[in-house]
Amino acid sequence: MKNAAVLGASGYTGAEAVRLILGHPKLKLTALTAYSRAGEVYSDVFRNFAGQDLPALVTADEVNWDEIDVVFACLPHGASQETIAKIYNRVETVIDLSADFRLSDPELYADTYGRPHDFTELLSQRVYGLSEFARDLLKGAKLVACPGCYPTCTMLALLPGLAEGLIDPERLIVDAKSGVTGAGRKASLSFAYSETTDGAQAYAIGAHRHAPEMDQAMKDFAGVSAKVRFTPHLLPMNRGMIATCHVELSDGVSVDTLRAHYEDTYKSEPFVHVLAAGQVPQTRHVRGSNHCQIGVFADRTPGSAVIVSVIDNLTKGSSGQAIQNYNLTQGWDETLGLTGVGVFP
């Protein structure tokens, strides 16, 4: 058993990490930290844990880090790198769910997040944990940067085609949609029930912070230099994310060939499932699970296709992939603690 701490347990990704760790056969939840809500009983902060035997919710300073094996850092960007730097030498493994270690180039980080990166030495050691494409690098890694939810959903849809040269990297249009939990747990008029239910909207058009991360992943995992055109939307649902990728097929490539390649790429994956022709992925079928479902479709004009990918933004898009990554660092079966299927309906 490894002792696990969740940093930033008062947010949604923190709570999802706690939920998953409780069901993990080799992890013992040893510490829970928060900032403004430190001192509260955790099941008062997240009532779904009523009746569970959980550690007290404390500040990061109150934790004895020497007894912690693995840290799941669910902090805002900026705060995450600072806290990780402080405890880095006292723990065995750090799985960071924030944006702080996703971009390998500190300048790109500064441009994207509006602040310099203060721990570039750490940054140079991190492994970018898009699990299915980074298994070898993850084995034994000490610092793992978990991808953003949109990059996870989108890259699982695009990388196989790009790596094999089946789709045109210059013509990638990703129209993505997310549930409201992606905005985190906060008091905000923008995410108030009456302002977000029963309606839909785009946001951050042409300017979302996850787009440069996608460019990086395409370069690192498929060897292509390209800029994805990315438009996210906010939908009236709790969890769930869908990336609808409008692509152009390379010359001579058919949609059936493309789908066959995806089926082949993912045929042994425990969490990524390519649906049969005609079956359209739905976010509700992966709700609460670490699964991803992908569909490949012909578009209307010859040579064009649509690849659709769905995940739960809090699970495969965040805390589930974090657990999967930790399993991989330890050389364990990567499904440990993640065997649950989607909670549908």
| Per annotation, catalytic residue among 74, 146, 149, 245 | 149
Q: How far is the CB of 17 from its own copies (least distance, A)?
A: 13
Kindly state whether residue 91 participates in binding its own copies, applying the rule CB under 8 A: no
- Pick the stretch among 82-90, 105-113, 156-164, 301-309 that binds its own copies (CB under 8 A): 301-309
Kindly state whether residue 23 participates in binding its own copies, applying the rule CB under 8 A: yes
Sequential DSSP letters for 115-166: S--S-HHHHHH-EE--GGG-HHHHTT-SEEEPPPHHHHHHHHHHHHHHHTT-
Q: Which residues pair with 96 in a beta bridge?
A: 73, 145
Determine which residue in the list 32, 33, 34, 46 makes contact with its own copies, applying CB under 8 A.
Answer: 46
> What single DSSP character describes residue 318?
I
Q: Which residues pair with 274 in a beta bridge?
A: 294
Q: How far is the CB of 137 from its own copies (least distance, A)?
A: 25
Q: Lay out the site mask for its own copies across 148-187 (x = CB under 8 A, - = otherwise).
A: -------------------------x-x-x-xxx---xxx
Q: Which is nearer to its own copies, 96 or 312 (CB)?
A: 312
- Binders in 229-268 for its own copies, by CB under 8 A: 229-231, 233, 235-240, 242, 244, 246
Q: How far is the CB of 119 from its own copies (least distance, A)?
A: 28
**C-alpha angle with apex 140: 134 to 104, nearest 5 degrees?**
50
Determine which residue in the list 35, 88, 191, 332 makes contact with its own copies, applying CB under 8 A.
Answer: 191
Quick check: 241 and 311 in contact, CB under 8 A? yes
- Pick the stretch among 105-113, 117-125, 155-163, 295-303 that binds its own copies (CB under 8 A): 295-303
* Cα 178 from chain centre: 12
- Pick the stretch among 90-98, 133-141, 296-304, 323-331 that binds its own copies (CB under 8 A): 296-304
Name the phi and psi angles at 315, rounded to 5.
Answer: -105, -90
Quick check: 264 and 218 in contact, CB under 8 A? no
Nearest to 95 by CA among 342, 345, 320, 338: 320
Catalytic residues, by residue number, are 149
